[in-house]
Structure 1
Amino acid sequence: MTRRSDETKAAILAAARSQFAANGFRGTTIRAIAADAAIDPAMVMRYFGNKDGLFAAAVDTDLLLPDLVGVARSKLGETLVAHFIDRWEGDPGEVMLTLLRSAVSDDAAADRMRTIFATQLLPTVASAVDDPTTAPHRAGLIATQMLGLALSRHLLRLPPVAEASRDELVRQIGPTVQRYLRHPL
């Protein structure tokens, strides 16, 4: 029985996500992904072109950032922190953690992270600030908090951060993100 094209592609992506999560970009091979997906390595290349293309597809994620236009100005920081925690700990969380883990040591992963920053976080921040020319700097500061939180909570598993409840983290980190959004730089 042969697999349909969409089933094969889904199996390759599932195997790739697993391999990239376990071994990072550099430690993952097309052969290992193909073996996990129970297909010939040539099929991986057929669908994704090369390892970079496969990685980009495997970590393609939409942060689904909230529309901040309707959020009370005093709640913007808390809203973003809560949203990021929910995303890191929800369904696409492993994809995002794989991307974070790989971005530290691989240029392709770091480039993907920069693309997500530029196309998703930056426009959201620009919509919430009075002076859009400050949005890149503000978004960069917010990224330091959200990426640092994810690194500390999920990858390093620092006990105080890993053991804190979602609500505690929102209450404690929200004011910092609020300052980045609303206070003078």
Structure 2
Amino acid sequence: MAFTERSAKARNAILEAAARRFAADGYDRTTIRAIARDAGVDASMVIRYFASKADLFYASAWTAAPARVDLPGSGDFAERYAEVFLEVWESSGSALVALLRAAPTRPEAVAQLQGVLDRQFLPVFHQEFPDRADIGQRAALILSQTLGLAYCRYLLRLEPLASMDRAQLQHAFTGTVRRYLEEPIAP
């Protein structure tokens, strides 16, 4: 569907409102009317661009998430990963929060989250460590810790993790990433 400039603005406003609403209220409690109100459009306009609430959920999550995670610079991969992870979650994490919130009860959200990980995070590990046969397993372990940290800090807001100083958290998380990269997986 080709969009005029005006319809593109409306569509973008809907996507932004949806990402915020899904992150704040979760999938089940979010309504098309609430999203439309937040976007400043009529509810029929939301359905015009997105056939269903599910379609809007996935479009908003995919649009708001970073297209690909890049780890600029050189040097310690674990340090760069921890820094970028925290930056991504603190700047555009609402879409990812929405996926994490929906994943325990919606298999399609799990599939969407898997797609985000496969397209945005795993290529970074393969690019950084092209000769490591076990990098897929190591990346999966690191991603499990990444999602656990995100879930506890940004979704559940568990203390003291939620209010922990970012520099302190980054340092601690860097050590976790480094252990998964360097220590043997099997005894």
- TM-score, L = length of structure 1: 0.83
Point out the more displaced range, 142-151 or 21-30.
21-30
Distance in 2 between the 1:53 and 1:18 partners?
Answer: 16
**Corresponding residue to 2:10 among 8, 11, 15:** 8
- CA drift of 1:177 comes to 0.6
- CA drift of 1:83 comes to 0.9
* Deviation per residue, 1:101-151 (Å, 9 max, x gap): 222322222211100111111111112225443222111111111111112
What 5-or-longer segments of structure 2 have no aligned partner? none
How many percent identity over aligned positions?
Answer: 39
Distance in 2 between the 1:84 and 1:167 partners?
Answer: 13
Query: Structure 1's 15 and 95: CA in aligned 2 closer, same or farther, altered over 3 A?
Result: same
**Corresponding residue to 1:28 among 30, 46, 57:** 30
State whether residues 22 and 98 of structure 2, in contact with CA within 8 Å, keep that contact through their aligned partners in structure 1.
yes
Query: Structure 1's 63 and 153: CA in aligned 2 closer, same or farther, altered over 3 A?
Result: farther
Distance in 2 between the 1:111 and 1:16 partners?
Answer: 19
Distance in 2 between the 1:113 and 1:32 partners?
Answer: 24
**Corresponding residue to 1:50 among 38, 49, 52:** 52
Distance in 2 between the 1:95 and 1:170 partners?
Answer: 21
What 5-or-longer segments of structure 1 have no aligned partner? none
* Deviation per residue, 1:31-71 (Å, 9 max, x gap): 33234334333322221222222111211111642347x52
Distance in 2 between the 1:135 and 1:49 partners?
Answer: 39
Distance in 1 between the 2:152 and 2:165 partners?
Answer: 14
* Paired AA for residue 10 in structure 1: N
State whether residues 15 and 36 of structure 1, in contact with CA within 8 Å, keep that contact through their aligned partners in structure 2.
yes
Q: 5 Å matches for 1:1-185?
A: 4-60=6-62, 61-62=65-66, 64-67=68-71, 71-72=74-75, 75-90=76-91, 92-129=92-129, 131-185=131-185
State whether residues 17 and 59 of structure 1, in contact with CA within 8 Å, keep that contact through their aligned partners in structure 2.
yes
Distance in 2 between the 1:86 and 1:38 partners?
Answer: 29
Distance in 2 between the 1:67 and 1:37 partners?
Answer: 33
Structure 1 vs Structure 2 CA RMSD: 2.3
* Paired AA for residue 85 in structure 2: F
* Paired AA for residue 8 in structure 2: D
Distance in 1 between the 2:175 and 2:20 partners?
Answer: 35
* Paired AA for residue 105 in structure 2: S
Distance in 2 between the 1:35 and 1:165 partners?
Answer: 35
Distance in 1 between the 2:182 and 2:112 partners?
Answer: 28
